[in-house]
Amino acid sequence: MNLLFIAWRNFRYRALSSFLTTLSLMLGVGLVVLVMAIYGIVSEAFVRNAAVGYNLVVGPRGSALQLTLNSVYYLSQPIENLPYTEFMEFFPAEERARMVREYGGDPALGERDGVYAGFVAGGYAIPLALGDYFGEFRVVGTTPDFFEKLRHGPEVDQPFTFQDGRALKTFTPENQYFECVLGSRVAAQTGLGVGDTMNPTHGDPEGKGHGQGFQIVGVMSPTGTPNDRAVFVNLEGFYLLEGHAKPIEDDAIIVPPERDPDDPRPPLLMIPEREVTSILVRNGNVMFAPGMQNRINESGRAQAAAPIGEINKLMSMIVGPLLSALLVITLITCVVAAFGVLVAIYNSMNDRRRDIAVMRALGARRGSVTWVILFESLIIAIIGGAAGWLLAHIAIYGAGTFIEQQTGVQVGLFSVSQFEWLLLPFVILLSLLAGIVPAMAAYRTDVGSNLSA
Partner 1 sequence: MLTIANLIKKFQQPGGGELTVLDVPRFEIANGEQVALIGESGGGKTTLLHLIAGMLAATSGSIRIDNIELTRLSEQGRDRFRAATIGYVFQTFNLLPAFSALENVKLGMSFGNGRVDHARAMDLLDRVGLADRANYRPKQLSVGQQQRVAIARSLAGRPKLLLADEPTANVDPASADLVLNLIIDSCRDESIALLMVTHSMEVAGRFERIDRLEDINHIPALKQV
Ligand X SMILES: Nc1ncnc2c1ncn2[C@@H]1O[C@H](COP(=O)(O)OP(=O)(O)OP(=O)(O)O)[C@@H](O)[C@H]1O
> Closest approach of Cβ 332 to ligand X, in Å?
43
Residues whose CB falls within 8 Å of the CB of residue 390, separated by 6 or more in sequence, listed in order: none
> Closest approach of Cβ 367 to partner 1, in Å?
8
Q: Specify the 3-state DSSP secondary structure of 263.
A: coil
CA torsion 266→268→273→274, rounded to 10°?
A: 140
Comparing CB distances to partner 1, the nearer of 169 and 365 is 365
Number of residues near ligand X (by CB under 6 A): 3
> Closest approach of Cβ 451 to ligand X, in Å?
10
Q: Using CB distances below 5 to 8 A depending on partner kind, what does residue 355 bind out of partner 1, ligand X, none? A: partner 1
Q: Which 9-48 positions form the footprint of ligand X (CB under 6 A)?
A: none
Residue 412 corresponds to which amino acid? G
Residues paired with 56 in a beta bridge: 281
The residue at minimum Cβ distance from ligand X is 449
> Closest approach of Cβ 446 to ligand X, in Å?
7
Comparing CB distances to partner 1, the nearer of 350 and 452 is 452
The Cα–Cα gap between 359 and 447 comes to: 9
Q: Using CB distances below 5 to 8 A depending on partner kind, what does residue 16 bind out of partner 1, ligand X, none? A: none
What would you report as the CA-atom Rg of the chain, rounded to the nearest whole angstrom? 32
Site track 394-433 with ligand X (rule: CB under 6 A), x = hit? ----------------------------------------
Q: Using CB distances below 5 to 8 A depending on partner kind, what does residue 334 bind out of partner 1, ligand X, none? A: none
| Member of 250, 350, 362, 449 binding ligand X (CB under 6 A) | 449
Q: Are 37 and 133 within 8 A, CB to CB?
A: no
What does the binding site for partner 1 look like in residue numbers (CB under 8 A)? 1-2, 6, 9-10, 12-13, 354-355, 358-368, 447-448, 451-453
Site for ligand X contains 450 (CB under 6 A) = no
> Closest approach of Cβ 381 to partner 1, in Å?
20
Comparing CB distances to ligand X, the nearer of 15 and 453 is 453
Site for ligand X contains 448 (CB under 6 A) = yes
- Of all residues in the chain, what percent are helix, strand and coil, respectively (each to 5)? 55, 15, 30
Q: Specify the 3-state DSSP secondary structure of 418.
A: coil
Comparing CB distances to ligand X, the nearer of 346 and 443 is 443
| Nearest of 188, 190, 208 to residue 200 by alpha carbon | 208
φ, ψ of residue 201 to 5 degrees: the values are -110, 155
Site for ligand X contains 350 (CB under 6 A) = no
The Cα–Cα gap between 232 and 139 comes to: 6
**Cα dist from 54 to 11, 156, 221, 285, whole Å:** 58, 10, 20, 12
Q: Specify the 3-state DSSP secondary structure of 235.
A: helix
> Closest approach of Cβ 16 to partner 1, in Å?
14
Q: Are 1 and 372 within 8 A, CB to CB?
A: no
> Closest approach of Cβ 17 to partner 1, in Å?
13
| Nearest of 221, 204, 113 to residue 162 by alpha carbon | 221
Query: Would you tell me which residues interact with ligand X (CB under 6 A)?
Result: 448-449, 452
